[in-house]
A and B are shown apart, each in its own frame.
Chain A
Amino acid sequence: MPDDQRVTLKVGFAEQLRDIEVQLPAGEPKPWDARSELKVVGKPHPRVEAPLKVSGAAKYTHDIVPPNALWAAVLRSPHPCAVVESIDVAPAQSQPGVSAVLALVKPGERVIFAGQDIAAVAAKTPEQAEAALRAIAVGYKTEPFVVDTAAAMQDGAPLVHRGKVTERSTEGDEPGAGGSAGQRGNVRTSPSMKKGDAKKGLRMAKVSHEATYTTQVHTHSALETHSIVVQWDGPKQATVWCSTQGIFSVRDEFAEVFELKPADVHVHTDFLGGGFGAKFGASAPGSRMGFIAGELARKAGAPVRLLLDRKEEHLCTGNRPDSRQHVKIGASADGKLTAIHVVAHGSAGIGTGAGVGRNAFGIYSRCPNVLVESHDVFTHAGPGTAMRAPGHPQGAFALELAIDELAKKLKIDPLDLRLSHDEHPVRRHQFELGRKQFGWDAGRKQAAALRDKQARVRRGFGVAASIWGDFGRGKAVVATVSVLRDGSVEVKNGLQDIGGGITTVVAQVVAEVLQRPVEAVRVRLGDSELGPSVGSGGSVTTASVTPAVRAAAEGVKTQLTALAAKQLGRKPEEVTWSEGQARAGSKSIAWAELCKKIEGEAVVATGTRPETYGAYPVKFMGGNSYQIAGVQFAEVRVDTWTGVVGVERVLAVHDCGKVMNPLTARSQVQGGVILGTSYALTEQRVMDRVRGVMLNPNLETYKIAGARDVPREIDVVFTPVDTGANNTGAIGIGEPSTIPTAAAIACAVHDALGVAVRDLPLTPDRVLAALGAVPTRGGG
């Protein structure tokens, strides 16, 4: 076999296909491209693990109870900022049922958000653990604090950090994001994104628009709370069950904390109840859960379960930071953008990572002058962390609404304004496709007519764009495929299925290669001993895992082909496969018969994924990854008497490379739209600015969209693209699908009212205020 291979791939989208040459590393299967005729991949297939989930048999970390396991509970700071003067955990030790007690702060230490770890206990029952926490005595000296982002930016605001701030980065972060360009007070400046001269561009503009847009803190609120179960198997060996998006990140952090060899930490995540970016590592972003559970288990000499409750989940496990984005945007009189300038401040609480993504910088690329300056503002609140497309929904909201406000001044259709500045051919195709399918032009006219006659119930139409990169990781995954003598097929990898459906897609890929029914492929995931894999963050899972799985399956197939050739008395290159039979000339051998001839127990091959080798037709931010395109259209209904916004329709047009499983991919996009709708309309962390605590750490006043709050219709359209990135053609969709939703809805509300609501969420109070219906204080 030659070391390298040059192959021709047919790539592109819709009618725009072309041949390109790519260099493949040795042993890499020829990528599936636009010429490939696939029978299983690309066809809808129900989730293979669904029977376990609908029958209650699927075991999540919450459900794991090793023999004699104890229940852990954590005492948390009630104060947003205080110095611990004294702490006495001894009274807890003597409480009924208590086996271990742990102080997590020392006298003299400062706690800097309400919800921070103070002490922990392990007891036989949850009630005993709670009672033991009540017995712990802590003396605090409270200090000034600030939880409001704007207030924290002021000179003289109480300082959150008194030393250098270290970033906590996870696999959920957008690659390339992060870093600092200096810090002053609570404001830490991030590296800016710059093209041309935005200030000059604004001076040249004939028509311009300037406004401040704000977005709220959004908590991940995965239904399964952060949870970890630790069982020590020896002084230096542990088994850990964790509700995680990254099994190996748990293994590595746990090993580091307890000074173990990573191989001696065995991590299981058979199922997890959602993550959305907050579940990486053995700990939560704002709670040292791995250490707490591990140390309590070690002290108690028994396994420990640490399952956070809903309040803790809101306080200390991460969130999407808020933002205040001051946008200046200018254009020539005929509607050519001359500059976009965004100055963003956002608070990730005590943490970092409050940027606003690549929207302003990357989407409307015909604008010659762009400057995006962003700043983290520290506040005394739980740390933010990556959340489904970190930064981007915030950035999309401010940018797209500003574009609509400018289009109104220019008297240009906002979709036309977008089309004339977006150079991504796939996104342009998506805009055009959506314009027809959504009934954009007629809809805008209808909205204008209702607006003109000041109708009680208005309609509005909006559109917004998505930008993300294909961050599929090379050399990270090792998958193993085995075919056993009994004909059964097994695929193994230390991956977790966060709910996106990767288990099914892995089975489909193996089924495609080996020509077996999907049901005949046993997929084993969720275990750190099943081979290296990636975390489910950055929308990389399918793009990183399926090529390795395919490579392994092809390796097995090569061996089986040789075996068949031997059985049929031919050369391997004469053997062809169809419908699960190996054929050569007039002879054939059935799968079951062939497998019986396997020497030893099984034919086994491993596969890896090389680095991404193509990125057609548009690269993301100058790197070697494809820029994933998507657009969403929204139609809203606004009751001007009550201010209530309802989303009637969303059309989501997305590209996720080669669609592996249209059924689960569609669900994932629908989920992105629903998360985005919830962000647009109802969700908001509310902090009491006087007392510095969260007022709605529950699922009642922290308002997640329910069945009646989602768009009445969600249409999902895929525009498949062959990018030549990897051997299955898969790229991600989880994050891109939630980026433009809130922006499109906000633009639609602007269309309905004729005035913009520049603050998320778009709640009735804000809609009524935008309409001028709310008396100002003292004037009512």
Chain B
Amino acid sequence: MQPFVLSRPKTLAEAAELASARPQDSALRAGGIDLIDRMKEGLEAPARLVELRWLGEADREVMRALGPEGDGVQVGALVTLAQLAAHEGFGEAHAALREAAGSAATPTIRNAATLGGNLLQRPRCWYFRHADLVCLKGGSACLAVSGENKFHAILGGGPSFIVHPSTLACALTALDARVEIRGASPRTLPLAELFVTPKQDAKREHALQPGEVLVRAILPKPGPEQRSGYAAVKEKQSHDWPLAEAAVKMSLQSGVMTDVRVALGHVAPIPWRSREAEAVLEGKPPSEALFAAAAKAALAEAKPLRDNAYKIPLAQGLLREVLHRVAGVPLPE
């Protein structure tokens, strides 16, 4: 890593000012896992890191919050994945978030990595991460198209075919989360609006402007009898990036599924909400056949590259498993 200045502002306002003064040359740092990784790879060399973990009491409180907020639940941006994974306050309604957090990265990384950093991390695409190559993120072509694209997008791809790396984003999408942004124009927006599709702007993955800080995620009041779940398929079971992820939320009352949300991860450049699958499931009693139909619908629009068509059956199988588990329908042998 190249030398830099480490700033430790006491207020969010100061942090925002430091980060926006020379936006190309500064970076906000929470857990710093992805940032340090990119700096070590030589992808970035900011002259100033602006620390979010040394803020004063008032700002720290919101950014470290984890618990009830009104009828819902808030999760501060500085809450670590380890905290989320161990948080028993979530219950069945928000189990997807707990499960996702516990599935990501390694135990030691989870002890440092934060919700904010997880949502805003850069892609893991091996072309983006290769110091000797220039991909669409900094150049003119997505190298995955002609290259090795086994781990790339099958939905929503083009012109970039990255998959969004955030595991929490998949779960939070299913849980209808909103995120609060502070900075020049403070706002709270649905999570989906945080993310940028490659068609909108292939150079970036999120909509934050320099100096804007994501301070927390807010989960709405759970529906009646709400339950949720998350799972991932990985090549390696100890520590790996997923081949695909699925998160599901539903209310299950009188044998009928309502308010169903289905999200897939690591299949698209953004966390992928499947309204097609939701439409198949909504208002119906759970069954093996219905889940198979929902899984089929979720991947109906998939457009695989040379090496990743396997993600279609894989994501279907995964989604079926999660639906069975969340709805309490035994899996076939």
Contact = CB atoms under 8 A, between A and B. Distances in A.
Q: Do chains A and B touch in the complex (CB under 8 A)?
A: yes
Interface of A: 78, 114, 127, 131, 453, 455-457, 639-644, 646, 681-682, 686-691, 693, 695-696, 700-701, 703, 705-709, 763-765, 768-769, 773-777, 780
Nearest to A773: B313
A90 to B, nearest CB: 22
B313 A774 contact: yes
Given A127-B2, A764-B243, A774-B313, 18 more contacts: A114-B132, A455-B332, A456-B333, A695-B126, A701-B124, A703-B235, A705-B236, A706-B237, A706-B239, A709-B238, A764-B235, A765-B308, A768-B310, A768-B313, A774-B312, A775-B304, A775-B309, A780-B304
B306 A777 contact: yes
Contacts of B127: 688, 695
Interface string B140-159: 00010011101000000000
B331 interface: yes
B317 A769 contact: no
Nearest to B303: A780
A704 to B, nearest CB: 8
A642 B235 contact: no
Which of A114, A641, A681, A773 has the most C-beta atoms of chain B within 10 angstroms of its own C-beta? A641
Given A709-B238, A768-B313, A768-B314, A78 B132 contact: yes
B321 interface: yes
Contacts of A456: 331-333
Nearest to A456: B332
A686 B126 contact: yes
Contacts of B321: 641-642
B17 to A, nearest CB: 29
B130 interface: yes
Contacts of B308: 765
B207 interface: no
B314 A643 contact: yes
B332 A643 contact: no
A127 B318 contact: no
Given A689-B147, A691-B143, A641 B126 contact: no
Given A456-B331, A686-B148, A769-B310, A693 B132 contact: yes
Contact of B304 (A642, A644, A690, A777): A777
Report the 8 A-B pairs with minimum CB-CB distance, sorted nearest first: A706-B238, A641-B317, A765-B310, A773-B313, A708-B237, A695-B126, A78-B132, A708-B238
B304 A693 contact: no
A642 B314 contact: yes
A776 to B, nearest CB: 7
Which of B130, B143, B312, B318 has the most C-beta atoms of chain A within 10 angstroms of its own C-beta? B130
B279 interface: no
A762 to B, nearest CB: 10
Contacts of B317: 639-643
A695 B130 contact: yes
Contacts of B309: 774-777, 780
B240 interface: yes
Interface string B293-333: 00000000010101111101110111011000000000111
Nearest to A779: B309
A642 B130 CA distance: 29
B237 A709 contact: yes
28 contacts: A114-B132, A127-B1, A453-B333, A456-B332, A457-B333, A641-B317, A642-B233, A642-B314, A643-B314, A686-B126, A688-B143, A688-B148, A690-B146, A693-B130, A693-B133, A695-B127, A696-B126, A703-B236, A703-B240, A706-B239, A708-B238, A709-B238, A764-B233, A764-B235, A765-B314, A768-B314, A775-B304, A776-B309
A642 B318 contact: yes
Nearest to A687: B148
B139 interface: no
Given A642-B317, A706-B238, A775-B309, A701 B126 contact: yes
